[in-house]
Amino acid sequence: MKKGKTLNRRDFIKLSSIASASLPILLSGFPIFSQQKPKGYSFSNENDNVLVLIQLQGGNDGLNTIFDLNQYDNLQNVRTNIIIPENELLNINSATCFHPAMSGIKEIWEQEKLSVIQNVGYPNQNRSHFRSTDIWNSASEADQFISSGWIGRFFDINHSSFPENYPNDNNPHPFALTIGRVVSETCQGVNTNFSMAVEDTDNPGTALVSNTTSVPGNCYGEMLNFVNDTISQTNAYAEVISNASSAGNNLSTKYTGSDLSEKLKNVAKLIAGGLQTKIYVVQIGGFDNHDNQVVEGDTKTGKHAELLQELSDAMAAFQDDLKLLNIEDKVIGMTYSEFGRRIRSNGALGTDHGTAAPLFIFGGCAKNQILGDTPEIDTQVDDNEGVAMQFDFRSVYSTILTDWLGATKQESNTVLFKDFEKISIFKNGCSAALSTDDALLNTTEISLFPNPTSDYINIRFFGKNENTKITLYNSLGAVVKNIANTNFASTEHQLKIDISNLPKGSYFVHYQTRGISKTKKLLKY
């Protein structure tokens, strides 16, 4: 620090967020899991909706989670050593099946409270755990490095001075809670993290403020004042949380006692107890299954099966509890993972880092549907190819921000740095209604010919009098060519694209307009 320059509170926050945003400190023997603490959120009469984020750490294998019988034979051909026998799968309709460990999620489906969104990812997929997790948490482009999270920027819109003078009469409760030891980076704001990490909601604990009688008027004194203020704020939140935990209860008997089950049980109890926290984040790890994903000779079992069962059972118990507590229409859950796995299995009974994957939206207001196309499986797929992206994950975020959390479209665009098309997630009457024509969504097609091809491709599609984007990706999910980004009249169109300079291999044409996304595979020989 330069001589003569004092350290103000916001400077200290910025420094602490860089140096130790997720490192625990001990004050009077009590662990504080973040030096940036959230403050309360005041629900409006119009919107008391709650979002629960379930992070699947490690990269979930979507092709071993959801199966399409029309693609099963091809999938079996490229996953001979890990494929689950067809007669072991859980059918949910004539073509779609879940992993046999997912009876709980199947139950949510049968209650018509589950949206399955296929092929979710982002352009130029980064297959690093750390970097891809950063991208999902920050909602950045793959080549941008953003230190704030999408939820943190959402809270910053109306609470830019946070954490100064929080909690207060209008905001007495935490904005966000992470059930665990480390705050979620999704909630990192411009200056501080809006999430508070709590392990034991019944006994969040208190810390002692320094009893120093006089605070020196220097940099050390300012730091000490900041720490004392932070402890006071933490204690205020601890009291609010413990009061909600005491007032709340759980009515479901389906909780299994697993780590994720207990986390979601605590979330349901806090919501039922009147805690006005808007965002809850929970995590389940272990999805990076490069080897022994299944048990040889009994592929319906193994590490992935155990994880899917823990996830499925916990989600089903949580949803059952919300229903019994009569709060299921104000709570939506969403799973997410940093990437999917590659289409072809490896020789170690496992799968390697891939690209897109399905995610689940569940709750009383979730539209019961399978949104998106079945991943296309080519028996000649190369070892590196992953599932092609159909939906940008930021389209999911945009829909949640506007149609669930109450942001305006302009605010959503600010949070996500640009405009992303919304998609159809919520039931009519549950939120700001999404105007996407579902019949149009299900019938809109694009066609490619000739395919395979060596030098050019024709793309035939229908315009919608809306902005239309057509992008060509390679098998790793990297953008090869931006074909179109403009308005097309509401008629049939055909574009001829020269691809003669591209290497041989698999490519994907992605078409997006007015909430509609389609992906088609192209083979260049």
Alpha helix segments (H runs only) across 218-359: 219-247, 259-272, 303-324
pTM flag (> 0.75) = yes
Average pLDDT, the chain: 85
What does the buried/exposed string (b/e) look like for 21-45 if buried means 16 or more CB atoms within 10 Å of the residue's CB?
bbeeeebeebebbbbbbbbbbebee
pLDDT confidence of residue 294? 98
How far lies 396's CA from each of 121, 306, 317, 463, in Å? 10, 27, 24, 23
pLDDT confidence of residue 8? 42
The per-residue pLDDT for range 85-131, each reduced to its tens digit, is 999 999 999 999 999 999 999 999 999 999 999 999 999 999 999 99
Residue 76: its H or E element = helix 72-78
SS3 assignment, position 11: helix
Asked whether 509 and 517 are in contact (CB, 8 A), the reply is no
Q: How far is CA 167 from the centre of its chain?
A: 28
pLDDT confidence of residue 230? 65
Task: Report whether pLDDT(205) > 90.
Answer: no
Alpha helix segments (H runs only) across 111-258: 129-138, 150-156, 219-247
- The string of DSSP codes covering 13-65 is HHHHHHHHTT--EEETTEEES-SS--------SS---EEEEEEETT---GGGT
CA distance 188 to 37: 10
Task: Report whether pLDDT(206) > 60.
Answer: no
Helix/strand/coil (H/E/C) assignment for every residue in 364-432: CCECCEEECCCCCCCCCCCCCCECCCCEEHHHHHHHHHHHCCCCCHHHHHHHHCCCCCCCCCECCCCCC
Angle made by CA atoms 67, 357, 143, in degrees to the nearest 5: 165
Q: Which of 377, 254, 274 is nearest to 324 (CA)?
A: 254
Residues 17-24, mean pLDDT to the nearest whole number:
35
Give domain limits for the chain.
Answer: 9-420, 443-525
The per-residue pLDDT for range 41-75, each reduced to its tens digit, is 334 445 789 999 999 999 999 999 999 999 999 99
CA distance 324 to 322: 6
Residues 365-386, mean pLDDT to the nearest whole number:
94
pLDDT confidence of residue 167? 87
pLDDT confidence of residue 43? 40
CA distance 248 to 202: 10
Query: Is the bond preceding 503 in cis, omega lying within 30 degrees of 0?
Result: no
pLDDT confidence of residue 36? 34
The per-residue pLDDT for range 437-449, each reduced to its tens digit, is 444 444 467 889 8
pLDDT confidence of residue 4? 41
Give the confidence band of 465 by pLDDT, cuts at 50, 70, 90: confident
CA distance 483 to 470: 5
pLDDT confidence of residue 223? 65
Q: Provide the token pair at 280.
A: 């809850």
pLDDT confidence of residue 460? 86
CATH architecture for the domain at 443-525: Sandwich (2.60)
**31 bridge partner residues:** 26
pLDDT confidence of residue 212? 52
CA distance 114 to 370: 9
Q: Which of 374, 378, 383, 423 is nearest to 403 (CA)?
A: 423
CA distance 500 to 517: 26
CA distance 108 to 113: 6
